[in-house]
Amino acid sequence: MAAGRGHLRPGSYLGDVSALSFLPSPARPFLLAGTGSELLVYEVGAATLVASFQVFDGVRVHGIEPRGGESNCSNHSLAVFGERRVKLFSLGVGVDAEDGGVRLELEQRLPGFDHWVLDARFLEVDGLLAVGLSDNSVALWDLSERVLVNRVKSPEKCLLYSMRMWGNSVTELLIASGTILNEILIWKLAPQILEPSVLCSNEGDTQGVNNYENVLLSDKQYMAVHLGRLKEHEGSIFRIAWSSDGSKFMSVSDDRSARMWRLSFQSQNFVNQAARQNNVEIIPELTLFGHSARIWDCYVSDSIVITAGEDCTCCIWRMDGKLIKMFKEHIGRGIWRCLYDSSSLLLVTAGFDSAIKVHHLCNSSFDIVEDKVASDGLNYDSEVFVVSSPTVAGQYGPLDSKSEYVRCLHFAEENVLYVATNNGYLHHAELSSLEDVRWTEIIQAAEKAPIICMDVMTTYSEFSLNREDIVALGDGRGNVTIVRLTSGNLEPKVDIIFTWSAEKDRQLLGVYWCKSLECSHIFTADPRGSLKLWNIRNALFPNTNDISASKKVSLVAVFESSFGARIMCLDASPQDEILIAGDKKGNITAFPFPKTLIAHDSSAAQQKIPVCDRFKGAHGISSVTSIRIKNSTSDHVEINTTGGDGCICFFKYASTRKIEFFGMRQVKELGTIQSVFANLASEKQLRSTYAIGFTSADFIIWDLENDIKMVQISCGGWRRPYSYYLGTVPEYQNCFAFVKDYDIHIRRHWAATQDKKLLPQVLHLQFHGREVHSLCFIDQASYSSIENSSHLCVATGCEDGTVRLTGYSTGSSGRWLSSKLLGEHVGGSAVRATCFIHKTYTLIDKSCNDRSNGTFDDTVFENKENTCLLISVGSKQVLTTWILQPRVAENRQLCLTGFDVDSKQSSENTEDYDAAMSFQWLSTHVPPKLTRSRFKAGHAKQNSEEGNSSAVQPNLEIMDQMENDWRYLSVTAFLLKHVATKLTVCFVAVACSDATVVLRALLLPSRLWFDVALLVPHASPVLVLRHIIVTASQYNDDAGDRYLIVSGSTDGNITFWNLTETIHGFMQLVSEIQPHMAIDCQKRPKTGRGSQGGRRRWRSLTHHSLKKQNGETALPDGSNQSISCGAANSSQTYAMEESDDSTNTQSIALEESDGISTQNMMLSSNHSCDIPEVRPMHIFSGVHQSGVNCLHISEMENCSCSEPHRSYRIISGGDDQAVQCFSFTVESLASCSTNRTRLNLHDNNTLKIVHQHKVPSAHSAAVKGIWTDGIWAFSTGLDQRIRCWKMQSSGEFAEYSHAIISVPEPETLDVFHDRAKRKYQIVVAGRGMQMVEFSPPEGDCGKASGVV
């Protein structure tokens, strides 16, 4: 994105896609997409973005209409329209790819219309372009003369939501108009011959074009002929689509229905007044219901119908109204556009989430209820088997313990299925074809014991291509049977069978192979959480000279979980000497696994392996379904788990033998995830990762990288016996078998892939599906050691509760690289504000003997080994923190193959960006909630014991406040490190919609949350928070460092708070008490589903071993440390008070972020009187006439004032459309009394106003985002403009430049100053996100210390 000096240059837009169109080119098929003001050109075969062009200035592209003609020509004409504008372009497609192979040239610019353009159609026969307008009129533009020749208005005058035209000439042109009155009007144009006098009298009837000089009325004029009015819809008509022959059209509506109509023509001789309205009969053909929300777009052909709607689904229907399949892969507010090409069978969808997703319908593996082959050549290559094992065939009626039925299924290959039954039979089924299913009985367990569990390991001989299957069976008698089979020409050959007793009757519930141990060892599990490791090497591969050793099986080790729940899955790594097991209650346990175990001598005694660590509630109360250990060359091992809560969790197991949670991905479309599969595609095919799981009744394979449903089969859920098998490319190769009644149902989709190219599923990367409320740049220095890096990272928070990290390239391409989902707030609560902390300040305690070089500075800035945090807050008072973990080069492959990459696009460009950084979840703070009965009873009893019967009523008032859905509106935070204790504290100030501002503290690394202070009073909610840290080392100030909070509220006031004494007192008490030594911490986030822990609760302080007796605290090591308890609060929360003065009474209220107990209720969510109250040190009233929407602070180096104090500059914007700026210096903070003044009163005891300036009408709408470094300032507002302001040393500022952006309703702004390149990168977000570049003119770069 090249930018000239002194100008704002809008860059790439990342937001909803509003237009789609195919460009006919048989050699290189192209897809055209409109997003924002840009036109994107994709080569579909290669799935690459060939070029992008800015076609409008601030006008969104609403439609793209290619001109028909020869498809093999290199130049194509396009009509691109948006709002009231239409432009004609020539798109040149060349074979030389050095310059991208595509060029776009503007051919014609039509004059602006007085109504929005809804459709455009090339009329090749007449050489005209028909433009449909929202006032139900059609304008005719002469392509050769470049003039408007006519404007025809329908006799039915009304406003439209939609219009679509069909025809290649004026006489064939049919117009279908969808009105705001739930009607569809069908009309056409008919020629009329006018006399010259009539022609002159009608020259004035050309309203709708602003430039009348381009209007030329010929002697051939047209009139509108009304053909019909359709009133069947009960909602506004959003979209209309014609079939290719014009015989029928489709309409979709606000009433969630899609209707198809057929036109029956009789006569088309329309001459002036002789035109009749009854010559066309419009017949209703089809009505479709299936969407759960409004339908936005549709397509109709001769044999299928496609609809796309607000519920993010795209449905494919047969002409008889039967649903063939449904895609649901977009997120957010829906799918805006769907496009289908019948020749290539490509279906393209695009929506609010910025993603463009492509399906090749003949390769899709979706369940079809009846038809195996759909119309339009949609052959799904799927085989459906319904078979019964020989011993089960013919069984009917109710089941009992002695009935014969299928208990276990297991695929060994796509055509080999093993079946185990209740009477102990093991069958081998070879699925050659639908007509040829060969059954072989392998074995029957002794005494017809039911087979409870089965696992199969497939190996291939080193000397031949024969496959060997080693089947492990566990029966109801506690016996394990191993069967080794070799594939034969007609039936499998049994090589060896042996059995041994592993458990007592009915105590054997699982047998598990481990790939890392190959087939020499096997695990068995019982109901009590015990695992046994068996050595079967000598029995499976017996020595022919030693017959007695052929049946020898030895017990190597016993692993007992402390949770006492059945082990459901496991994985072992002999290289890392670790075994991880997951149980039925969602817990995982780590055991040491020394290499000597697999080299175990059968003559030695068995070992009992102790637990080295455990993680309770890894998947809440839902079962852990799979575990995979990923080897690493670093100092830790990565563990990936899946569970019945629909989550994929990531853990680290370090050399300290501790399991640490560091990330999670929730797949909302799956109720339970059984495993994660990574394909081994060739170099020509892109690597993908898939989640295999179930919804309530369907089996689903989900593409994690593209968020696309690959396979969906109705099976009745995961509780039935089932098995699946995936090939190299699951899109083409997948098998699934399940049991229903007595039959085995098998769906197999298997096609050769060597001659097929895997079609990438996503052309444009996926972004948020709803409005973005907040964003912030991730500082490059925090994750990259590369100077002058061309990659930027932006963190965004959305209305749907998600936080994403999006990479941007500032090079010549200037485009978005990738976007990955970082996490989601509890319950999907909206994210309202974010902030990134990249600085850590070190607090040196003067009371300690530890002094640095004899100095007494309170705070110094720490540059080495910074802790970088990302904080997001939002609805339901959710506060989430992530910590930045820089990635080293040796972990690059591990990082790139994770599950957090959403786009396959531009993998080469994103490699360095993805490998440079990684955020992991740190902590989530959610105020606990109680039922009224528990709250009332507990506190009534406590208050009666204290003799205060009147205290019950205030508790009820607090309870009423808690029931309101309060939300956080803003957040600011900073990190402070205590030198003596090596503890780091993150102080977080959050503003709530109930007009409260709370200072909280997060103790690191223990993840303990504290309520530190309540900032009062506030009459109005605070919309924006910022902080200022005045370090004493910069001024040699004996008063020490200073911590200030600045807030802007809805009443137009800007308030300053002094938190210095509060923070110093908190740090001193934490260093003395050290609560992290005695209190357990939160270990994993909530998700709003089963994984949040269910009935399991985080331990509250009162239930921990930390006891308060006689003012002493018992620490785990047995030592006692005296603390001052002062007045203990009524809820028995751990409280420490230290009175300094009447203004700031230092009290620390400790709470756990996920606690649910009443003991933590009062302080965590209601800010009771036990939390100290801090009053503002200064209030500037009436800065804005209404709410202060945005505020930014910069620290100045050069100031015109002569005082030695540091100068700061605050710039703010509000609903009054004004931008206010004032400079000030911080004086003595000894006085804590509140000063309330108008901004024009410059002198007071604490702040000295140096300069001030105000621009009353900076924007033509509310100002929503602002930023300054003291030299340049940038603002954005609802007028969809970015304005650049030049700041003068006198405090005045004036507009220097402005630009129109493509982001509708912008809500937030942030700026990155690249000092090396002397550029500013401005990012704006709202309904989408866009980057804007600004390069200051030469010699006009002032000097500022930077932003605060």
Q: Cα separation of 837 and 1067, whole Å?
A: 19
Residue 1346 to residue 602: CA distance in whole angstroms: 70
Instruction: Give every CB contact of residue 1139 below 8 A, 6+ residues apart in sequence.
Output: 1126, 1145, 1146
Pairing of strands 554-560, 607-609: parallel
Give me the pLDDT at residue 967, please: 92
Rounded to an integer, the average pLDDT of 978-987 is 85
pLDDT computed for residue 299 by the predictor: 95
Q: In what order do the strands lie in the sheet with 493-501?
A: 451-460, 467-475, 479-486, 493-501
Give the model confidence (pLDDT) of 877-890 as tens digits: 999 999 887 654 33
- Kindly report the average pLDDT of the chain as a whole number: 78
Mean pLDDT across the stretch 821-845?
Answer: 85
| DSSP 8-state class, residue 219 | S
Closest among 983, 1142, 1174 to 1067, alpha carbons compared: 983
Q: Confidence band (pLDDT; 50, 70, 90) for 688? A: confident
End-to-end CA distance of the chain: 28
Q: Could you report the per-residue pLDDT of 433-472, keeping only the tens digit for each? A: 877 889 999 998 877 889 999 999 998 766 556 789 999 9
Give the model confidence (pLDDT) of 781-814 as tens digits: 766 555 556 789 999 999 999 999 999 988 767 8
Q: Which of 1104, 868, 1112, 874 is nearest to 1008 (CA)?
A: 1104
Measured from the Cβ of residue 458, the count of other Cβ atoms closer than 10 Å reads: 16
Measured between alpha carbons, how far is 1333 from 1343 in angstroms, rounded to an integer? 19
Backbone angles phi, psi at 754, to 5 degrees: -65, -30
Q: Which of 99-113, 151-165, 263-277 is least confident?
A: 263-277
Report angle CA 1123, 1128, 1130 to the nearest 5 degrees. Answer: 155
Over residues 926-949, the mean pLDDT reads 47
Query: Cα–Cα–Cα angle for 1172, 1164, 803, nearest 5°?
Result: 115
pLDDT digits (tens, 9 = 90+) for 609-649: 999 999 998 998 899 999 999 866 667 888 999 999 999 99
> Looking at the predicted structure, is the pLDDT value of residue 13 above 90?
yes
- Tell me what percent of the chain is helix, strand and coil, each rounded to the nearest 5: 10, 50, 45
Tell me how far apart the alpha carbons of residues 676 and 697 are, in angstroms, rounded to a whole number: 19
Lowest model confidence (mean pLDDT) among 77-81, 256-260, 388-392, 1196-1200: 1196-1200
Beta 510-512 vs 521-525: how paired, if at all?
Answer: antiparallel
Look at residue 515 and tell me whether its pLDDT is greater than 50: yes
Instruction: Provide the b/e sequence for 641-678 (b: ≥16 CB within 10 Å).
Output: bbbbbbbbbbbbbeeeeebbbbbbbbbebbbbbbbbbe
Whose tokens are 């200022």? That residue is 1028
- In single-letter form, the type of residue at position 1320 comes to Y
How do residues 1047-1095 score in pLDDT, each as one tens digit?
Answer: 999 999 999 999 999 999 999 888 888 776 666 566 777 665 544 443 3
pLDDT digits (tens, 9 = 90+) for 127-157: 999 999 999 999 999 999 999 999 999 888 8
pLDDT in tens, 155-200: 888 889 999 999 999 989 999 999 988 999 999 998 875 554 433 4
Query: Strand ranges (DSSP E) for 414-505?
Result: 416-421, 425-431, 437-444, 451-460, 467-475, 479-486, 493-501
- Dihedral angle over CA of 1182, 1184, 1186, 1187, nearest 10: -110
Q: How far is CA 178 from CA 133, 164, 250, 251, in A?
A: 12, 9, 11, 8
Q: Is the pLDDT of residue 744 over 70?
A: yes
Q: What is the pLDDT of residue 1235?
A: 61
Give the confidence band of 1247 by pLDDT, cuts at 50, 70, 90: confident
Task: Give the lowest-confidence range in 133-142, 393-402, 615-624, 1277-1286.
Answer: 393-402
**Residues paired with residue 978 on neighbouring β-strands, in sequence order:** 843
Using pLDDT thresholds of 50, 70 and 90, give the confidence band for residue 756: low
Distance CA 251, CA 265 (A): 20
Q: Which residue has the higher pLDDT, 733 or 1034?
A: 733
3-state secondary structure of 707: coil
CA–CA separation, 446 vs 449, rounded Å?
A: 6
Q: Which among 409, 393, 1064 is positioned nearest to 742, based on CA atoms?
A: 393
Across the range 909-938, mean pLDDT stands at 59
pLDDT of residue 953: 42
Percent of the chain with pLDDT over 70: 73
Q: Across residues 28-51, what is the average pLDDT?
A: 89
pTM given for the model? 0.82
Amino acid at 1116: P
Residue 682 has pLDDT above 90, yes or no: no
Q: Which two tokens stand for residue 1031?
A: 């370090």
Across the beta sheet with 578-583, what order do the strands follow? 567-573, 578-583, 588-592, 613-615
CA 197 to centroid of chain Cα atoms:
65
Predicted pLDDT of residue 1148: 46
Task: Give the pLDDT band of residue 947 (cuts 50, 70, 90).
Answer: very low
pLDDT of residue 1132: 31
- What single string gives the DSSP state of each residue in 296-308? EEEEE-SSEEEEE
Q: What is the DSSP string of 643-667?
A: ETTSEEEEEEEETT--EEEEEEEE-
The answer to whether the beta carbons of residues 990 and 970 sit under 8 Å apart is: yes
Average pLDDT over residues 1038-1046: 81
Q: What is the full DSSP assignment across 1064-1126?
A: HHHHHHHHHH-GGGT-----S---SSGGG-TT--PPPGGGSS--EETTEEE-TTS-EEE----
pLDDT at 969: 95
SS3 1182: coil
Q: Which pLDDT does position 526 carry in this prediction?
A: 95
